[in-house]
């Protein structure tokens, strides 16, 4: 073995082995960094693009729903100017919000499905926006006329007109038959006089008409007072003259202004009816189409995000598999390298062991003492190995539990976000249901007013019919009064028909809103059921998290105990080592018998050939105190100079190496 030329040194072999292991470690680390970089890039894209795009869709949907609610509110009659202006402001802010949300969403990446759904939404939204603008224009025209509830104003004006017509009939009966009646002399005590100070409007046209009719209305009632006084004084001719010269002109002017007010109210009602028709017809349909379109965009985007999440999961699993595979490959290559190095070293060492067997007889006495200490040291080393293995197992288990807790924490976080989303949907449904119930209540109030109007019309109709019967019974000139009464009966019948149609429309609208409210309630129930199920799953995950935490704690206790046992075993090993050191010094006298074997060990460690040892022996001849590797078996003078019981700290001079 020692005669072979060009043998590699042991240091070179060990250095080469560690170099290969470092290279494998570098490859594994590079693969892990590359995989983590890809995963980090995907997560950055999710945080910077995909999640903001999804939030923009939520803002877009809520803004469109806000506009829808404001438009429905504007369709309610009898609102104050402050409330209507607030709805206009809400619509403006909502439009700004969804415009920004659309711009943000269009910055994200589109799949073909999202692009198709988005195009459909844009078209549907453009159609709805056109209908919205027409509706808002009609509402602003109604606002310009200054009448919040045209139907109610018409009913009041017709009632006031009927009151004054009835007052004129009573006056005719007084002039003709002397039939007395109460009231009619104070222009502020009639229904119109009481209503006039309470009516507020921003319409310049209505204010002009009302201001202009105050004087003829006052003169009309003053004429009634003067005629009554003339009749009471027995002067019927003066009373008849006052009727012709003062009351009839004042009545004509007053009724003319009533007609102007009714014309403005009719115009406002026509615009309002057109807006109502648009709101419950075309606008409602287009709103539904837009809502369905944005919902499809959200569903397509959610599907894309689900695919993105699955791709992230696949990337994470691929990264894990890659790292595990790289680690396994590195371990296998390390095992192969260790086997190769071991084989290249064990062969020469085996030959040295055979040579050492020849001198074993000379060292048997010292070996007997060494055996006892070696047995103790071996037992201690075995105990240390077992403790180390237990500590390694505990650390591995702790690592696995930490990974499990991380997964459970991620799952709990996802379930929490899911509960938040479903709670938000439920809140929207509750808000929508509240709005619908409010609309139903307001419609009910309108029906009450209409029914009251119908009752008043019925009363007036009966009264006029009675007067018509009286007039019909009379002959001659009294027939003219019958014609007037018949005309008023026809007008009252028309009002009754209008009120009936309005009642029917409100009832149909109320039925539709009740169905929508029921649908909103069903959505709330479904969402809350899903929230309960999600919360249950979250509880299970947290329970697993607590169990894993307890197991981690137990593993840490075991690891601490193992560390204490390892420290104690190390102390025992140190004591045994001191005994072995003392015994080994006694064997130093036999060291020169092994110099030939040391020469072969030097060849293995340092490399080179047997000729390289000659220089060492020449150096030993010049300095007998130098311990030379591979010295001859015969004792030299320097051998007897060495003490038999030398301590391990009293080392000879260092060996000479090339």
By CB atoms closer than 10 A (0-12, 13-18, 19+), residue 120 is middle
- Per the model's pLDDT, the better-predicted residue between 345 and 228 turns out to be 228
Sequence-distant (6+) residues with CB within 8 A of 72 are 279, 435, 439
> What's the CA gap between 132 and 136, in Å, rounded?
6
> Per-residue confidence at 215, pLDDT binned at 50, 70, 90?
very high
Six-digit token string for 400: 């696995």
Q: What is the mean predicted confidence (pLDDT) over 113-135?
A: 88
Averaged pLDDT, 386-403: 71
Angle subtended by helix axes 112-145 and 51-74, to nearest 10:
30
- Residue scoring higher pLDDT (19 or 474): 19
The residue among 610, 655, 604, 628 whose CA lies nearest residue 11 is 604
Question: How confident is residue 650, by pLDDT bands cut at 50, 70 and 90?
Answer: very low
Token code pair at residue 175: 């002039």
| Of the candidates 390, 395, 406, 394, the residue with the CA atom closest to the CA atom of residue 320 | 406
Q: What does the pLDDT look like over 11-56, one tens digit per residue?
A: 777 777 778 777 877 877 777 777 777 777 767 666 666 778 788 8
- Cα distance from N-terminal residue to C-terminal residue, the chain: 19
Long-range residue pairs from 153-157, CB within 8 A, at least 24 positions apart, any chain: 153/261, 153/265, 153/268, 154/262, 154/265, 154/266, 154/269, 155/449, 155/453, 155/495, 155/499, 156/195, 157/258, 157/261, 157/262, 157/265
- pLDDT at position 481 over 70: no
Residue 645, pLDDT score: 40
Give pLDDT tens digits for 488-518: 776 776 777 677 677 767 767 776 776 777 6
CB atoms within 10 A of CB 658: 10
Top mean-pLDDT range of 105-109, 155-159, 401-405:
155-159
b/e 208-229 (16+ beta carbons within 10 angstroms → b): ebbeebeebbbbbbbbbebbbe
Question: Is pLDDT above 60 for 609?
Answer: no
d(CA 376, CA 172): 141
The answer, yes or no, to whether residue 630 has pLDDT greater than 60, is no
**Per-residue pLDDT averaged across 627-643, rounded?**
40
The set of residues, in sequence order, having a beta carbon less than 8 Å from that of 489 and lying 6+ positions away, is 461, 464, 465, 468
| 78-87, 231-240, 259-268, 377-386: the lowest-pLDDT one | 377-386
pLDDT at 253: 94
Is residue 619 scored above 60 in pLDDT?
A: no
Q: Which position has the higher pLDDT, 358 or 534?
A: 534
Name the DSSP class of 653: P
> Between 300 and 451, where is the model more confident?
300
**Measured on CA atoms in the order 318, 323, 328, 332, is the torsion positive or negative?**
positive
Residues sharing a CB contact under 8 Å with residue 593, sequence separation 6 or more, in sequence order: 359, 362, 633
Global pTM exceeds 0.75: no
| pLDDT tops 70 at residue 136 | yes
Task: Return the pLDDT at 535.
Answer: 63
What's CA 602's distance to the chain center, in Å?
Answer: 73
The predicted pLDDT at position 655 comes to 31
Confidence of residue 390 (pLDDT cuts 50, 70, 90): confident
Q: Which residue has the tokens 């590699």?
A: 8
Look at residue 241 in the predicted model and tell me its pLDDT: 92
Q: Please check whether residue 595 is in contact with residue 633, taking contact to mean a CB–CB distance below 8 angstroms.
A: yes
Q: Mean of the per-residue pLDDT values for the chain?
A: 74
487: pLDDT strictly greater than 60: yes
Q: By the 8 A CB rule, do 464 and 495 touch?
A: no
- Among candidates 552, 75, 501, 53, which has minimal Cα distance to 276? 75
- Specify the range with the lowest mean pLDDT, choosing from 312-316, 576-580, 652-656: 652-656
For 226, the token pair is: 């003067």
Q: Decide if pLDDT at 3 tops 50.
A: no
pLDDT value at 556 more than 70: no
Classified as helix, coil or strand, 7 is: strand
Could you identify the residue written with the tokens 């310049």? 204
Ranges 229-243, 248-262, 382-396: which has the least confidence: 382-396
Please give the pLDDT value at position 212. Answer: 93
pLDDT-based confidence at 192, cuts 50/70/90?
very high
Q: What is the mean pLDDT of residues 471-476?
A: 66
Alpha helices in 178-190 (DSSP H): none
Percent of the chain past pLDDT 90, that is, above it, reads 12
What's the rounded mean pLDDT across residues 258-285?
A: 87
Q: How confident is the model at residue 651 (pLDDT cuts 50, 70, 90)?
A: very low
Distance of alpha carbon 435 from alpha carbon 458, whole angstroms: 35
Q: Please give the structure tokens belonging to residue 408.
A: 């459970």
C-alpha 506, offset from chain centre: 39
Mean pLDDT for the stretch of residues 392-413? 71
What pLDDT band is residue 587 in, cutting at 50, 70 and 90? low
- Work out the pLDDT band at 624, boundaries 50, 70, 90: very low
In a 3-state reduction of DSSP, which class is residue 608?
Answer: strand
What is the pLDDT, as a whole number, of residue 440? 72
| d(C-alpha 214, C-alpha 212), whole Å | 6
Predicted pLDDT of residue 378: 61
User: What is the average per-residue pLDDT within 102-110?
Assistant: 83
User: Looking at residue 540, what is its pLDDT?
Assistant: 74
Q: What is the pLDDT of residue 570?
A: 61
Compute φ and ψ for 407, nearest 5 degrees. Answer: -60, -45
Nearest one of 247, 142, 153 to 200, comparing CA atoms? 153
| Alpha carbons 109 and 132: distance in angstroms, whole number | 30
pLDDT digits (tens, 9 = 90+) for 61-95: 888 888 888 888 887 887 787 888 888 899 899 88
What is the pLDDT confidence band of residue 530, given thresholds at 50, 70 and 90? confident
């Amino acid at each position: 073995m020692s005669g072979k030329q060009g043998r590699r040194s042991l240091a070179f072999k060990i250095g080469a082995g560690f170099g290969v292991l470092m290279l494998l470690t570098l490859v594994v680390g590079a693969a892990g960094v590359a995989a983590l970089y890809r995963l980090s890039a995907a997560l950055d894209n999710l945080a910077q693009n995909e999640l903001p795009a999804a939030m923009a869709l939520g803002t877009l949907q809520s803004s469109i729903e806000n506009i829808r609610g404001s438009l429905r509110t504007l369709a309610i009659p009898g609102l104050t100017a402050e409330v209507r202006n607030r709805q206009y402001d809400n619509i403006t802010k909502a439009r700004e919000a969804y415009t920004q949300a659309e711009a943000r969403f269009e910055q994200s990446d589109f799949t073909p499905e999202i692009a198709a759904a988005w195009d459909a939404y844009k078209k549907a939204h453009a159609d709805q926006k056109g209908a919205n603008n027409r509706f808002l224009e009609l509402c602003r025209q109604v606002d310009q006329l200054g009448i919040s509830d045209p139907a109610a104003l018409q009913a009041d004006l017709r009632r006031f007109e009927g009151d004054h017509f009835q007052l004129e009939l009573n006056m005719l009966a007084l002039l003709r038959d002397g039939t007395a009646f109460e009231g009619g002399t104070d222009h502020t005590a009639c229904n119109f006089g009481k209503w006039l100070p309470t009516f507020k409007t921003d319409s310049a046209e209505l204010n002009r008409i009302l201001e202009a009719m105050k004087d003829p209305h006052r003169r009309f009632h003053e004429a009634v007072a003067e005629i009554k006084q003339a009749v009471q004084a027995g002067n019927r001719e003066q009373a008849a003259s006052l009727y012709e010269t003062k009351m009839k002109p004042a009545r004509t002017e007053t009724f003319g202004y009533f007609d102007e007010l009714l014309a403005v109210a009719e115009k406002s009602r026509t615009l309002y009816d057109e807006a109502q028709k648009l709101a419950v017809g075309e606008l409602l349909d287009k709103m539904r189409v837009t809502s369905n379109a944005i919902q499809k965009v959200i569903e397509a985007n959610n599907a894309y995000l689900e695919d993105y999440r699955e791709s992230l999961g696949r990337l994470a699993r691929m990264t894990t598999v890659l790292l595990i595979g790289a680690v396994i490959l590195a371990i296998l290559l390390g095992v192969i390298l260790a086997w190769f190095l071991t084989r290249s070293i064990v062969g020469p060492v085996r030959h040295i062991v055979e040579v050492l067997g020849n001198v074993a007889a000379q060292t048997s006495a010292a070996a007997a003492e060494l055996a006892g200490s070696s047995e103790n040291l071996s037992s201690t080393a075995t105990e240390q190995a077992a403790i180390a293995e237990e500590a390694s197992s505990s650390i591995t288990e702790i690592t696995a539990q930490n990974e499990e807790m991380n997964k459970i924490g991620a799952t709990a976080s996802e379930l929490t976000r899911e509960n938040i989303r479903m709670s938000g949907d439920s809140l929207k449904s509750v808000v929508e249901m509240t709005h619908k119930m409010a609309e139903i209540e307001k419609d009910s109030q309108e029906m009450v007013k209409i029914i009251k109007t119908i009752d008043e019309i019925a009363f007036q109709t009966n009264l006029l019919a009675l007067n018509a019967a009286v007039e019909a019974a009379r002959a001659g000139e009294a027939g003219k009064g019958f014609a007037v009464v018949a005309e008023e009966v026809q007008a009252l019948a028309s009002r009754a028909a209008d009120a009936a149609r309005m009642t029917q429309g409100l009832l149909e609208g109320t039925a539709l809103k009740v169905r929508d409210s029921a649908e909103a309630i069903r959505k709330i129930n479904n969402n809350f059921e899903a929230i309960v199920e999600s919360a249950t799953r979250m509880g299970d995950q947290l329970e697993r998290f607590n169990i894993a935490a307890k197991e981690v704690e137990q593993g840490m206790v075991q690891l601490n105990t193992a560390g204490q046992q390892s420290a104690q075993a190390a102390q025992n090993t140190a004591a045994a080592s001191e005994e072995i050191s003392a015994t080994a010094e006694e064997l130093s006298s036999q060291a020169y018998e092994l110099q030939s074997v040391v020469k072969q060990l030097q060849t293995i460690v340092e490399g080179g050939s047997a000729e390289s040892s000659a220089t060492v022996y020449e150096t030993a001849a010049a300095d007998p105190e130098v311990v030379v590797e591979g010295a001859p078996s015969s004792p030299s003078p320097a051998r007897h100079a060495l003490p038999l019981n030398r301590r391990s700290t009293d080392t000879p001079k260092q060996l000479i190496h090339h």
